[in-house]
Chain A
Amino acid sequence: MARVVDSFSWHEYLRQQAMDSQTSLLKEFFVSQDFPEDMTIDQAEFVALDFETTGLDPRNDEIVSIGLVPFTMQRIKVAKAKHWIVRPKCQLKDDSIVIHGITHSEIMNAPPIAEVLEEVIQELYGKIVVVHYRYIESEFLNSAVVRELGEEMWFPMVDTMHIEAQQHRSGWRCKLKRLLGGKLPSIRLVDSRLRYGLPRYHMHSAMTDAIATAELLQAQVRHRFPEETPVAQLWL
């Protein structure tokens, strides 16, 4: 899955997937993702998702922890947040890989992804998935699903980094600034948050980052989009 082309429709795609899918877990997921087109941001249920991985290549690297938190524009439901540590199949390349806040022994004692995948996907049912920098979560989730279930799993996400990029990386001002050798503002999660007055977190686990992403989306929406904006406008 590379880019959304004009003729491409997520709705059609999701419906097709729901029909084609062979596993009920994914079938139900695709059905649940087919939201009404006119659903507004303020009505939508979201879930912020964040992975920590052994590296950046979805073909060779693997997920080691998953954090997610359901939320709406009104509340981020920390009480319903979930966090998993999973044991990758490949050995951790070496001790120098820093996985925030997780010890190697925790990883060694963790279940493989196959055991938690079902629970993770069920948490996404009926909710719009929100991530910061979608390639990590969508590619790694898809790879894991392909490996474990033998099917692909593509679906639309809201990407808070993309929203920042649109604000700070497009338009003639930015082009001009870049042309003149100017430095563009960083759209990393930490830096983006600071622009909205969101606090700096000290821990960087998948859990904290998922909450941080949820907070960022709330802030972006409150600053940039009217409440009645259809959520489909944010979909990528």
Chain B
Amino acid sequence: MEAEQIEIAEFLGRYPPFSFLPEKTLNRVATSVEITYFRQGADVYRFGDEIHDLCVIRSGSIEIYRRNGNLYNRLSVGDVFGQLGLLMKNRIRLPSRALEDSLIYFIPEAVFNELCDNFEEFAYFVEIDDKRKMNKEVQQQREESALSSVKVSSLIVRQPVMISTDASIRQAALKMTHESVSSLLIVNEEAPLEDDGDCRNKLVGILTDRDLRTRVVAQGIDLDQPVSSVMTHSPKTLDKETYVFEAMLTMLRFNLHHLPVVENDEPLGVIAISDIVRYESKNSLFIVGLIHRQHTVEELITVSKDIQSCFVRMVHQESNAHMIGSAMSVIGRSFKQRLLEIAEEKLGPPPVPYCFLALGSMARDEQLLITDQDNALILSNEYDAAKHGEYFEALSEFVSEGLDKCGYPFCTGRIMATNPRWRKTITEWRECFADWIDHPNPDALLHSSVFFDLEGVYGKVEWAEDLYRFIVNRAKNSPKFLASLARNALLRTPPLGFFKEFVMEQDGEHRRTINLKRRGTAPLADLIRVHALAVGSTSRNSIDRLDDVIKAGILPDKRGQELKYAMEYLAMVRIRHQVEDVEESREPDNNIEPDTLSDIERRNLKEAFNVLSNSQRFLKYRYPFS
């Protein structure tokens, strides 16, 4: 008896283009499939192979390559591939390989042709499908470099060494000695949730060699005290799916040498900074380490010459925009930190505590090559201008000039700590933000939106977090403020004309170009900021903010994802353009010439601008200005 394949039909029906098909057709398609399992790393099709099926990923993921071996796209469950080959004389142009163990459904060419003939939406999807193509372009930038494609779990070399919370410090030290480890995980054993028989070890703390030195020996603590009294509580952890790259960023950022890797709170192991160094000793981010080892501004200037080549290297390693933005921001922050340390050596310790703020793209982890310095100072409430003013003026001058020499030019709007207006005490900052939020005035806000992306980089960084929480809490409850911010976010429109043609600058030095920052990523960031503040998100990175916004569910279906793609795509085009400038010894800028782009790039760019344009329309409606 012919068999029905309901399981397969149901699966297919969940994903486009099959979701466009009526049930009866779907059942017939399901009975026509052939299935093959591909082990991780196995070729599905090589270049030039004949192809006679449309492929659907049932499980796992597949990477599609260009002929030159560069990654073209990464697909996962429910995605289709092979349609290009079917439409092009049955030859594989883009070879494919299993990234994970994968199960593939093959739908015979005859069925594919029939579906294309009879179902317009199906045909449209496999033949054109712009949005996906944009997605592909974005994903194309994905990692070939080891650090950004390798997950931390693969660096774990041994089972985690753990001890229970009620153990003594002595027992902990003995265990570390026996196991010859420099860090120990402290866990609580929890009864199994379900009847799976296994106890779960919940990570509650970490103890390192350094802790034993500084918190135990140096303090003369009794060794029979419980280990929980000296451990670091709730340490930062990494999910096992984290990329090594992010692990490294976390370590650099929080100055950690050991990071536990967990799966659902349960420790899988620990990775140390030395594991990463061993893994790839010549990574571009070592520039950060270099910055922290320089002693004078002159030495820092020398290091800063490497930023451009580091940037270029990252792009060639096919890092994505998010990674590049984070890396450049970490580098920028490190310059500030080191300059402040040097300044304090020269000027003496600060008379009152302070927090040095990064504003704008650096705070958002979205810094690229050309970027001016936006910064400010939060001062302790004990600050007395008469007594301490001189010190902080000198400190700010030193840092600001140093940054300028290191390739972060002065901010033309004078949003810098050197400007006495932007050196305020904690209370003054709160009052300032409260005023902006409670009495919003679009004109005034126009110049201050950069303050709504702030991050502490040095000193009492927790003050910056407190301040940001204060801002978010106040902003989210102020429709009038959100509306003003939204109105400003609409001022810079994407460069698309009525017929969706590019609208280019008409005169001046940049004639026939489009400024991708001003007309693309900046208005996108503005727009995302409004939504983020509205949902009370304390994230600063645009992609993170979007995740929060998507979670809050205030956007129309799929709009959040589209915005993410658009952001990533526009940033990536900007980045590639800057790399080209550097490589051709031009001063990098944000002005791209659409005439020099390929058809696909032009189409994707329009698609991204279109997303921006639609989202701006939605913004107007969502935050009405009365």
Contact = CB atoms under 8 A, between A and B. Distances in A.
A101 B4 CA distance: 12
B5 interface: yes
Contacts of B42: 222
Given A77-B34, A222-B38, A202 B7 contact: yes
A75 B36 CA distance: 5
Given A82-B1, A82-B2, A223-B39, A208 B59 contact: no
A91 interface: no
Interface string B598-614: 00000000000000000
B326 interface: no
B12 to A, nearest CB: 12
Given A78-B5, A222-B37, A197 B58 contact: no
Interface stretch (A33-41, A137-145, A211-219): A211-219
B35 A222 contact: no
A79 interface: yes
Contacts of A79: 31-34, 108
A196 B197 contact: no
A172 interface: no
Given A83-B3, A215-B103, A76 B198 contact: no
Contact of A197 (B31, B36, B101, B198): B101
B205 interface: no
Q: Which of B33, B38, B100 has the most CB of A within 10 A?
A: B33
A182 to B, nearest CB: 9
- Residue of A71, A81, A84, A223 ringed by the most chain B CB atoms within 10 A: A81
Q: Chain B contact residues: over half helix, strand or loop, or mixed? A: mixed
Nearest to B39: A222
B58 A199 contact: yes
Given A197-B60, A199-B103, A218 B32 contact: no
Interface residues of A, number: 33
B462 to A, nearest CB: 44
A103 interface: no
Nearest to A203: B7
A201 interface: yes
Interface string B1-27: 111111110110000000000000000
Contacts of A7: none
A203 B5 CA distance: 10
B3 A67 contact: yes
Contacts of A197: 59-60, 100-103
Nearest to B59: A199
Contact of B33 (A78, A84, A183, A219): A78
Interface string A31-74: 00000000000000000000000000000000000010101001
B59 A183 contact: no
A198 interface: yes
A20 to B, nearest CB: 31
A67 B6 CA distance: 13
Contacts of B108: 79
B106 interface: yes
Nearest to B10: A202
A73 to B, nearest CB: 8
Nearest to B3: A83
Contacts of B100: 197
B321 to A, nearest CB: 30
Contacts of B33: 78-79
Given A202-B7, A208-B7, A183 B198 contact: yes
B1 A214 contact: no
Given A81-B3, A83-B3, A199-B59, A183 B197 contact: yes
Nearest to B105: A78
A207 interface: yes
Given A83-B3, A197-B102, A75 B197 contact: no
A78 B36 contact: no
B34 A76 contact: yes
B337 to A, nearest CB: 44
A198 B106 CA distance: 16
A76 B58 CA distance: 13
A62 B3 CA distance: 21
Contact of B103 (A67, A198, A207): A198
Given A183-B198, A201-B7, A75 B37 contact: no
Contacts of A81: 3, 5, 31
Interface in A178-226: 183, 196-199, 201-203, 207-208, 211, 214-215, 218-219, 222-223
A74 B3 CA distance: 21
A197 to B, nearest CB: 4
Contacts of B3: 67, 69, 81-83, 207
A74 B103 contact: no
A45 to B, nearest CB: 14
In the complex, which of the residues B1, B31, B101 has the most CB atoms of chain A within 10 Å of its own CB atom? B1
A78 B107 CA distance: 10
Contacts of B34: 75-79
B39 A215 contact: no
Interface of A: 67, 69, 71, 74-79, 81-85, 101, 116, 183, 196-199, 201-203, 207-208, 211, 214-215, 218-219, 222-223
* Ranked 3 nearest A-B pairs via Cβ: A83-B3, A197-B101, A76-B35
Given A83-B4, A202-B10, 10 more contacts: A78-B30, A116-B1, A183-B197, A199-B59, A201-B7, A207-B5, A215-B35, A219-B39, A222-B38, A222-B39
10 contacts: A78-B34, A78-B35, A82-B3, A83-B2, A197-B59, A197-B60, A208-B7, A218-B37, A219-B101, A222-B38
